């Protein structure tokens, strides 16, 4: 009798421990939910992106380059983009013509939009072996109907957001949705400031969030609109490294769902 009880206790203990052992390995599989940032760039300043990567690779950074007008790029720019993809950066779509999507769709319909703005972009980008699974709206202009059509073609689509409200009210953090919003890091982006950027980063770290950022042309010294200061990028990279946060690409967000 006591032997049977002993056996039962032994078996129960065995199962308990074998279950316990599974938990840490499951936890390891979801380590992607570490707080972090997505740094994205729009348009087609390929040379400046390539130069920025030379400066920032020491931080093991990762960025998403959202390319528009791929048909206008030179052979050497395509080569640089390919090199960026090879290093682990993501190459995403930003429109064949860089159309204002809602305006174009209102006038010509969604089918014409997909046919003129999306399909030729994807065909040419695939021809160059870019694995395009994300799309960033030109000017951030979007609506739900276009989102719906684009989500048949892309895993993640990115709009933009503005303002300088408390980070709690900002929608520039990943929210488990396929439609995400980035806040600008160009010096001329409305309400951009280093103290506010640091507040957004602090909130991401504290609340285990992923902050989504976008800029255009990385430069050492600002000479025009749509430029991101290299110093701003260094600050972000330093912050991510110092706080053991993670650099995510746009499409990697899709794997976290």
Contact region with Zn ion (CB under 5 A), list: 35-43, 100-108, 153-161, 245-253 = 35-43
- For Zn ion, the closer CB: 138 or 218: 138
Supply the minimum distance, in Å, between the C-beta of residue 44 and Zn ion.
Answer: 9
The least CB distance from residue 115 to Zn ion, in Å, is 20
- The binder of Zn ion chosen from 36, 138, 167, 215 (CB under 5 A): 138
| Min dist. Cβ of residue 42 to Zn ion (A) | 4
Q: Is 42 in the site for Zn ion (CB under 5 A)?
A: yes
Determine the 3-state secondary structure of 184 from DSSP.
strand
Give Cβ neighbours of residue 244 (< 8 Å, ≥ 6 apart).
34
Interface stretch with Zn ion, choices 10-18, 26-34, 135-143, 233-241 (CB under 5 A) = 135-143
Nearer to Zn ion, 43 or 80 (CB): 43
Residues 6+ apart with CB under 8 A from 175: none
Asked if 187 contacts 230 with a C-beta cutoff of 8 angstroms, the reply is no
Main-chain dihedrals φ then ψ at residue 41, nearest 5 degrees:
-130, 140
Beta strands in 22-161 (DSSP E): 36-43, 63-67, 90-93, 134-136, 156-161
Q: Give me the least distance between CB of 159 and Zn ion, in Å please.
A: 12
Stretch that binds Zn ion, among 52-60, 136-144, 147-155, 205-213 (CB under 5 A): 136-144
- 179 φ/ψ sector (left φ>0, alpha ψ -120 to 50, else beta): beta
Rounded least distance, CB 201 to Zn ion, Å:
24
Q: Which is nearer to Zn ion, 196 or 226 (CB)?
A: 226
Check residue 43 for interaction with Zn ion (CB under 5 A). yes
Residues 242, 244, 245, 247: is their CA dihedral positive or negative? positive
Q: Does 117 bind Zn ion (CB under 5 A)?
A: no
Taking CB positions, which residue lies at the least distance from Zn ion?
A: 42
- Of the candidates 29, 6, 10, 8, which has an alpha carbon nearest to the alpha carbon of residue 18? 10
Shortest CB 158 distance to Zn ion, Å: 11
Q: Which is nearer to Zn ion, 95 or 167 (CB)?
A: 95
How far, in Å, CA of 190 to CA of 183, rounded? 10
Our finding on whether 184 is near Zn ion (CB under 5 A) is no
> What's the CA angle centered on 214, arms 223 and 147, to 5 degrees?
135
Tell me the number of residues near Zn ion by CB under 5 A. 3
Binding site for Zn ion (CB under 5 A): 42-43, 138
């Amino acid at each position: 009798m006591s032997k049977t009880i002993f056996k039962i206790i032994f078996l129960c203990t065995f199962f308990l421990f074998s279950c316990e052992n599974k938990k840490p390995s499951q936890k390891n599989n979801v380590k992607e939910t570490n707080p972090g940032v997505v740094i994205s760039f729009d348009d087609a300043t390929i040379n400046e992106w390539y130069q920025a990567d030379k400066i920032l690779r020491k931080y093991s950074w990762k960025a998403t380059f959202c390319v528009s007008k791929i048909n206008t790029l030179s052979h050497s720019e395509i080569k640089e983009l390919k090199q960026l993809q090879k290093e682990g950066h993501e190459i995403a779509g930003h429109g064949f013509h860089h159309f204002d999507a809602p305006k174009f769709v209102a006038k010509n319909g969604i089918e014409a939009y997909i046919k003129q703005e999306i399909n030729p972009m994807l065909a040419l980008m695939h021809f160059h072996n870019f694995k395009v699974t994300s799309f960033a709206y030109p000017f951030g202009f979007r609506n739900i109907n276009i989102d719906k059509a684009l989500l048949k073609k892309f895993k993640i689509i990115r709009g933009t957001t503005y303002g300088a409200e408390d980070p709690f009210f900002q929608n520039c953090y990943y929210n488990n949705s396929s439609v995400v919003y980035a806040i600008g890091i160009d010096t001329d982006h409305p309400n951009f400031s280093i103290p506010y950027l640091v507040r957004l980063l602090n909130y991401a770290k504290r609340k285990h969030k992923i902050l989504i950022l976008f800029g255009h042309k990385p430069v050492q010294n600002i000479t025009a609109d749509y430029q991101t200061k290299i110093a701003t990028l260094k600050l972000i990279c330093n912050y991510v490294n110092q706080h053991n946060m993670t650099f995510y690409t746009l499409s990697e967000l899709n794997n976290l769902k």
